Structure 1
C-alpha cells in the first residue's frame, strides 16, 4: 500500500515538472540567437555614423560612397583600419564643413552692385574663365590617366556568366554597376586578385554582399548573392568562386557587380575584357 502511494506521488511530481518546464521562459542564449537572426543595416544619415558590431570601415566608406583612406584620415584611423562598436565615424572633415558653411552664407548675402568697366578690359575678363576651364579639363585628364594607369596593373575577369540586363548609368540616382542575370546558384567569381574587406548583409539594397580590395585605388563589389563562400581578410585569386548568385534584396536573380575607384563608382564595362 505504501509503495502504491509512493508511485502516485512520483507520477504527479513528473507531470508537474513537465508542465512547469513547458511554461518556463526560453534560456537567454536562445533568445540572443533569435535576436542575431534579425539583420540590421548600415544606415548613414548626415555627416557621421555610429559603429555597430560587425561593421568594417570599408563597408561604411562604401555605403557613404567615399574612399576608405579619406574616411580613415578624417577620423585619425591607421591601417588596418580597426574600428569598435559605438565609435563615432565622421564622414566629412570639420574644415570642409566650415568651408561649405561659409560658401552657403556668402551665397545667401545680397549681391553687391558691380561697377561697369571700360570696354578695353573686357578681353582680360573673358580670358580668365576660358583659362580656368582649360586648367580644369587638364586636371580632369590627369585624374582619368591616373585611374587608367592604376587599373592597368590589375588583370580583370568577368565575375559570372549570364545576360546583362542593366548597365551602368552616370545619373545621380542611376544604376552604378552591371546587372548580370542567370539562375540561382550560378558561380560568382572574384574579378581580380585581392583581399576580402567585407562579407555580409548590412548594406541596405545590396543583400548578401562581398567587397574585394585589389589595390589602394580599386574595390569590386558582388551583391544579391544567395550564399557567401569567403570571409573577411581572406585572400582571393582572379576567377576564384566566392559566392553563388541569388536575389537577396532584389526582384531578379542576378549579380550586381560594381567597381569603385577611390570610393566612386566607375563603369565596369570599361575594365572587363
Structure 2
C-alpha cells in the first residue's frame, strides 16, 4: 500500500496539483472492485485513505462548497467545485465524515479544514473516501495529488 504524504501548504489546483486531504495509507484504490460493505463488484469512484476517526480533512484546493450533508452510502459527504480544467468543471468530494464543518455556498481555501474523518454510511471503519470529478465523471485522484 502507498502512503499519502503529510498535507502540504500551497495554492492547490489550478496552478498546481491538489493537496492530499488527509494523511494515511491508501487502503483501496480507484476502479472496479469487490465492495467490502455491499459484497458486489462495482466502480470505486475514488480512493480510500485510512486515518483515525476525528482526523481533520482539508480542502484539496480552493473553491465553493456545492454539497454538504448526508448522502446514503457515502454518509456525511462534502463536494467542492474548483473551477474549469480544459473546459470541464473540476470538483472534489469527501465521504464518510464524522463531522462536516462547511455549508453549501461557502468559499473555502486550499488546506482549510472542512470536516473530520469518520465511518458514516457504508463504511467498515474510519477512513476518507476522496473523489476527483472532471466534467461530473469520476477520475483517479492519485495523478491529481501533489
Tell me the TM-score range normalised by the shorter chain.
0.7 to 0.9
Aligned length: 122
Contact 2:17–2:144 (CA<8 Å) still a contact in 1?
Answer: no
Within the alignment, does 1:204 sit opposite 2:72 as a pair?
Answer: yes
**Equivalent residue in structure 2 for 1:164, among 2, 18, 26:** 26
Which structure features the higher share of strand residues? 2
**How far, CA to CA, are the matches of 2:116 and 2:133 in structure 1?**
21
Give me the TM-score of the superposition, normalised by structure 1.
0.43
Q: CA deviation at 1:156?
A: 1.1
Distance (whole Å) between structure 2 residues aligned to residue 235 and residue 162 of structure 1: 26
Distance 2:50 2:24 in 1: 5
Whether the 8 Å CA contact 1:154–1:214 is kept in 2: the answer is: no
Conserved in 1, the CA contact under 8 Å of 2:64 and 2:80?
yes
Counterpart among 172, 195, 207 of residue 64 in structure 2: 195
Gaps of 5+ in 1: 1-150
2:43 corresponds, among 167, 174, 179, to: 174
Higher relative contact order (CA 8 A, sep 6+): 2
Which stretches in structure 2 are left out of the alignment for 5+ residues? 1-12, 34-40
- TM-aligned CA deviation for residue 255 of structure 1: 0.2
- From the CA coordinates, give the structure whose radius of gyration is larger: 1
Q: Comparing both structures, which one devotes a greater share of its residues to helix?
A: 1
TM-score by length of 2: 0.78
